[in-house]
A and B are shown apart, each in its own frame.
Chain A
């Protein structure tokens, strides 16, 4: 390059006005420009490394150390042994299975309702708005409202009485507390799954639907053979977000509605971690966190797969 330029010294390499002065101090500007991508991503990387990745590593490390007088002392797997023999941990683990059973229920309810709205039943716009409204409300508010609604002397039991059904202390009995909280959670969040479904529906190829109709497919066949395959990405996404929401988004409801009770009947991992931390057992709480992490990891890897596909550009 230099040789080439040198062979034709009479030809100016750049004839734009101001090019010479721009060339006079090219170094500094050049490096600032070159550093631009790093300057732009640096705050994000710094925050995530310091407040997400570092605590994660610290927490895993914590989980192998002791609490109180053993603070900071390596105790191997003792925390995990303590945890696996703790009744509250057993309750939380059992409840995770109950939670996972409620996931398909929420997805199904949202999917069916989204289909109806997509088919433009009378008043579909209104329904869409109403169903989504609880999503913006805080779990604290929802919990406060449903504490009253589900109380032993609350309106739901008034309905039960009127229909001749037994009066149930929904939140006070160990077999109904968690299902009640999960029911309220579904009430509060199915609107979210619903709008995600609707976003998916809007991408279904209209020509495929027309083709199905011309071929004489029934509504059921159209849904089964055209809509569901077209929506597979959306359905996966709803499953993953609903599952994560149920495993990590119920703290507010538990906190206001049952406080994990009665006994440990409505404990979930997130509540157990919070509780153990509050009992000055941070190391034990960290062990519980690691267990929750492993659980979330399986679901999260699915999530990454789904999300990566949605941003092919990167």
Chain B
């Protein structure tokens, strides 16, 4: 399946162009964010010369970004912790234990995975408000947990199913309770899957806009993405400061991506190949 050397270089050329097309918009944004407002108006396209970091300072201090960061970090961390705990418990039960209703439970999870949030958004908000959870952090956390749980359970079930049942049976013969097997055997063995799902769900929660817009309506409780999308209105005629704010949000995502690339791709490819 190896093509000849020359052909491979010919293929590489359009791929390089596409790579540039992928990175260019981000570099363009960085270039503008480093310009002063005057410089931007006079010469949009040219490379920045003054490396004006004031835009970043302005975006951070004036636009309440620090507060939005804290809100997003809090909600993301709690949601992801709950998702991982609940999904690994369910995944263990579904893959290693036999009980009545396990098939029905698995079907419920698949069905829940199929229903996109948009379809239930109106009654979901109604349900949340019946619990008085609109505009509260628990409300947003419950929204994220219920949204991202089905896929994570599916993933954990598939992952645990690959661990031989002999291991869990041996652990029980050694005198462990089922809970002991879960805590001492399954969770440690499931660490790669938990890491993968942890990163992926953190990205989902961090990047969400629709759920956050619906659940959190007061400005001080905004998550980062809602805060950033509001920046545009705050700086209608100051594009460099707006884009500096955007880059402050991009930065942690790129760092996470560079560190956890492998875990992220493992997460998104689940179910794509034969058993």
- Mark A residues whose CB is within 8 Å of B: 29, 32-33, 36-38, 40-41, 43-45, 47-56, 58-59, 62, 113, 116, 118-123, 126-127, 129-141, 144-149, 153, 155, 158, 187, 192, 195-196, 198-200, 202-203, 209, 213, 219, 222, 233-234, 237-238, 244, 247-248, 251-252, 255-256, 269-270, 273-274, 277, 282, 285-286, 289-290, 292-293, 296-297, 300-301, 303-304, 306-314
Which of B89, B143, B243, B265 is close to A195, meaning CB atoms less than 8 Å apart? Answer: B265
Q: Provide the B204-224 mask, 1 if CB < 8 A to any CB of A, else 0.
A: 001111100110000000000
Question: How many Å lie between the Cα of A131 and that of B246 in the bound state?
Answer: 20
B120 CB contacts on chain A under 8 angstroms: 52, 55-56, 59, 289
Does B185 count as interface, using CB distance less than 8 angstroms?
A: no
- Whether the Cβ atoms of B249 and A138 lie closer than 8 Å is yes
B143 CB contacts on chain A under 8 angstroms: 51
- Mark B residues whose CB is within 8 Å of A: 1-3, 8-9, 11-12, 15-16, 18-19, 21-23, 25-26, 28-29, 32, 44-45, 86-87, 89-90, 92-95, 97-99, 102-103, 105-106, 108-127, 142-143, 145-146, 149-150, 153-154, 157-158, 161, 177-179, 182, 203, 206-210, 213-214, 225, 228-229, 232, 239, 242-243, 246, 249-250, 253-254, 256-257, 261, 264-265, 268-275
- Whether the Cβ atoms of B109 and A48 lie closer than 8 Å is yes
Question: How many Å lie between the Cα of A58 and that of B142 in the bound state?
Answer: 18
Q: Which 3 A-B pairs have the closest CB atoms?
A: A300-B114, A138-B207, A37-B99
Question: How many Å lie between the Cα of A147 and that of B29 in the bound state?
Answer: 11
Q: Is the interface of B mostly helix, strand, loop or mixed?
A: helix
B239 CB contacts on chain A under 8 angstroms: 148
22 A-B pairs with CB atoms under 8 Å apart are: A33-B177, A33-B178, A41-B102, A47-B145, A56-B123, A116-B15, A122-B12, A127-B19, A140-B209, A148-B32, A222-B1, A255-B210, A270-B118, A274-B121, A285-B121, A296-B119, A297-B114, A300-B115, A304-B110, A307-B271, A314-B103, A314-B106
- Whether the Cβ atoms of A132 and B158 lie closer than 8 Å is no
Which of A144, A146, A149 is close to B242, meaning CB atoms less than 8 Å apart? Answer: A144
Question: How many Å lie between the Cα of A53 and that of B115 in the bound state?
Answer: 9
Q: Is the interface of A mostly helix, strand, loop or mixed?
A: helix
Task: Determine how close the nearest CB of chain B comes to the CB of A151; give it in whole angstroms.
Answer: 9
Question: How many Å lie between the Cα of A312 and that of B275 in the bound state?
Answer: 7
- Whether the Cβ atoms of B22 and A130 lie closer than 8 Å is yes
> A222-B1, A311-B154 are contacts. A292–B119 as well, Cβ < 8 Å?
yes
> A121-B11, A131-B22, A289-B121 are contacts. A310–B1 as well, Cβ < 8 Å?
no
Task: Determine how close the nearest CB of chain A comes to the CB of B198; give it in whole angstroms.
Answer: 14
- Whether the Cβ atoms of B127 and A237 lie closer than 8 Å is no
- Whether the Cβ atoms of A310 and B45 lie closer than 8 Å is no
> A62-B122, A310-B158 are contacts. A200–B272 as well, Cβ < 8 Å?
yes
- Whether the Cβ atoms of A48 and B112 lie closer than 8 Å is yes
Which of A140, A248, A285 is close to B116, meaning CB atoms less than 8 Å apart? Answer: A248
- Whether the Cβ atoms of A36 and B119 lie closer than 8 Å is no
Determine the residue in chain A with the shortest Cβ distance to B152: A44
A127 CB contacts on chain B under 8 angstroms: 15-16, 18-19
Q: Which of B87, B122, B145 has the most CB of A within 10 A?
A: B122
Task: Determine how close the nearest CB of chain A comes to the CB of B174; give it in whole angstroms.
Answer: 13
Which of A43, A120, A148 is close to B29, meaning CB atoms less than 8 Å apart? Answer: A148
Question: How many Å lie between the Cα of A146 and that of B25 in the bound state?
Answer: 7
Which of A49, A120, A314 is close to B161, meaning CB atoms less than 8 Å apart? Answer: A314
Task: Determine how close the nearest CB of chain A comes to the CB of B60; give it in whole angstroms.
Answer: 16
